[in-house]
Structure 1
């Protein structure tokens, strides 16, 4: 009796969640807008907004990124999963592209600035770049070879390290974990309340735990935003906007980030039309390379291009922002493809017995073949 042919199965591609992509895309746009506006803060000619709802626009973007990071990981991982697979996937998703962008950016500025790149630093400081946390540790007064990625990249790496533990605690002890997170948060706000630290309080892990944990709680226990929550979230935004100095900055950032996330998720089904869906998917897909390259492009255009942007009319600023977005997205797509090629070439180079010369491997294979023939 003939055996049935083996059935080849193809892994099912996970469908993207539009609401999370919408949050990620908007957060990406806010971060780009933040750095575009930085040169105009002194004269108040910034584009669109600088402090929506009484909170710095960049802080809102970061808060949304933290929440959606926790939510996105919770969609993929639940219950028992392989830590080895988790950390290896996170490694591949962050480091190859970061290292590729850093090397290319450093070489570019080395040539462009006559041998003195922007991130010139002692050789020993490169260890922070290798670890991907140079932007983070620079906030603590450490000299690094930081060029791109911001402090946020190092912070996300720390979050990835603790995510499996945080997820397990939330799944097994949701109430106790929520109480612990809020306690650590409150203690951190109290200890850092005077603002006299040499580092910004916003980079402290315990200060951002509520945002990270909220994304996980949302996927595990909320999933849908009740209709009554939307006006409450909107009221929070109104209050923080009316009382920008009465509410501590870190607390306001947490409240605004969570409120914006809930509103965006609630309105997502109403804006999920073809053009919006495709645009959001595009920005969300390349959000990481955009995050890596946008600041370098803005820095180059504003400070090393000779543009007289100080005299630009509002319409020229809009055109300039459009140019930054187009250049950033184009370079992000290019970086993604270059990184894929680098990873493929590196993987192929170290396959099998890569430490043996090809002639030696061929000789061993011939010897084995003769041994098998003799045995027959």
Structure 2
């Protein structure tokens, strides 16, 4: 059994935290409520971009570490003895089938559990106005079943999306492409990454209104996903102090110094994310020496996907509850009590994610 790389758990938890701070800041700013701009936005990038970039890269890297090129016995020609996580005596079709079944079991059960809210909403609309299909064509429900409702909505399609934003559809697409991408990278890693980098940069030639839309484009996602392959192969180099110092300097420069024309440009967030990846990976072993840090990191890392699913809905619903409570008690919102509300929201999200994962795991085990 392979040894777990616990430093990557630290990065996973950090990505979870950043996506929550970003969406919390966005929702409270949109509601006209005061908030402290802590790990939310900078003049060059948003921390939501960093969160998605790190999570996508981790997803790609960990898949490559576990499966390599599906259909090959050895995953790394430079590391003999490490084999793919499927029986050697199966054919390529069976290996690919096993891979997709495992990915589906990891992605869909918690997503479908949360999506049960949709038929409940349909019943409510049916009782109210006689039309259960409140978002139009019932065929749009197929987008929910396959996890692409949030992703499609990002591109202007009205869907029945409830949770996960666009991330679920993005990760499903990348998992579907993984066998092909891993094969290309294994045969020609430099050519693959350079080609994807050129395609990624070429997208800046076209006007795109929203940074979030650019971050969700297939080429953007594939580039970051495959960069995860390279990162996982070069983890030993990231344990170098000089690399960490250089990466830290890059991260601080991008965070503090305003780059002309960088707003709504995904590249600043991407560079900052990979720089931060290197810094945190180097620092993580020192943090994990302490049991008070190590144990929570292990527990929270296991909830990462479920946190991504519930965080945005949790923030919105908690905010609505807080506004009603403050109005009833005649309290004013200040930066400091909003910071306390952030802590409460964080606890609520983690608790709901834990319950969701617990129920999902039980259902998968029974199945």
The normalised TM-score by structure 1 is 0.80
C-alpha displacement at 1:198, in angstroms?
Answer: 11
Counterpart CA distance in 2 for 1:264 and 1:58 is 17
Determine if the alignment matches structure 1 residue 180 to structure 2 residue 168.
Answer: no
Equivalent in the alignment of 1:167: 182
- The one of 261, 273, 295 aligned to 1:246: 261
- The one of 297, 305, 320 aligned to 1:303: 320
User: How many residue pairs end up in the alignment?
Assistant: 332
Do the aligned partners of 1:210 and 1:254 also contact (CA within 8 Å) in 2?
no
Do the aligned partners of 2:149 and 2:160 also contact (CA within 8 Å) in 1?
yes
Instruction: Give per-residue Cα distances to partners, 1:230-268, cap 9 Å, x unaligned.
Output: 222122223323124333611112101111111111111
Do the aligned partners of 1:40 and 1:46 also contact (CA within 8 Å) in 2?
no
RMSD: 2.9
- The aligned runs of 1:25-174 (5 Å cut-off) are 25-41=13-29, 45-52=35-42, 54-79=44-69, 80=72, 82-104=95-117, 107=120, 120-122=134-136, 123-174=138-189
Change (3 A) 1:131 1:333: same
Determine if the alignment matches structure 1 residue 317 to structure 2 residue 338.
Answer: yes
Do the aligned partners of 2:35 and 2:334 also contact (CA within 8 Å) in 1?
no
Do the aligned partners of 1:121 and 1:144 also contact (CA within 8 Å) in 2?
yes
Counterpart CA distance in 1 for 2:294 and 2:128 is 44
Do the aligned partners of 2:163 and 2:312 also contact (CA within 8 Å) in 1?
yes
C-alpha displacement at 1:291, in angstroms?
Answer: 1.5
Change (3 A) 1:183 1:160: same
Q: Secondary structure at the match of 1:46?
A: coil
Equivalent in the alignment of 2:227: 214
Q: Secondary structure at the match of 1:16?
A: coil
C-alpha displacement at 1:15, in angstroms?
Answer: 3.7
Equivalent in the alignment of 1:264: 280
Counterpart CA distance in 2 for 1:341 and 1:276 is 28
C-alpha displacement at 1:96, in angstroms?
Answer: 1.4
Change (3 A) 1:316 1:136: same
Counterpart CA distance in 1 for 2:195 and 2:310 is 37
C-alpha displacement at 1:339, in angstroms?
Answer: 1.9
Do the aligned partners of 2:49 and 2:266 also contact (CA within 8 Å) in 1?
no
Equivalent in the alignment of 1:274: 291
Larger radius of gyration: 1
- The aligned runs of 1:326-345 (5 Å cut-off) are 326-345=347-366
Counterpart CA distance in 2 for 1:332 and 1:135 is 19
C-alpha displacement at 1:107, in angstroms?
Answer: 3.0
Do the aligned partners of 2:326 and 2:332 also contact (CA within 8 Å) in 1?
yes
Instruction: Give per-residue Cα distances to partners, 1:198-241, cap 9 Å, x unaligned.
Output: 98221101123332122101222444313222222122223323
Moved more, 91-100 or 331-340: 331-340
C-alpha displacement at 1:330, in angstroms?
Answer: 1.6
Do the aligned partners of 2:18 and 2:40 also contact (CA within 8 Å) in 1?
no
The normalised TM-score by structure 2 is 0.82
Q: Secondary structure at the match of 1:150?
A: coil
Do the aligned partners of 1:53 and 1:256 also contact (CA within 8 Å) in 2?
no
Equivalent in the alignment of 1:359: none
Do the aligned partners of 1:21 and 1:280 also contact (CA within 8 Å) in 2?
yes
Do the aligned partners of 1:289 and 1:333 also contact (CA within 8 Å) in 2?
yes
Counterpart CA distance in 2 for 1:69 and 1:184 is 21
C-alpha displacement at 1:149, in angstroms?
Answer: 0.6
Change (3 A) 1:174 1:295: same
Change (3 A) 1:159 1:115: farther
- The one of 201, 213, 216 aligned to 1:203: 216
C-alpha displacement at 1:150, in angstroms?
Answer: 0.9
Counterpart CA distance in 1 for 2:212 and 2:340 is 36
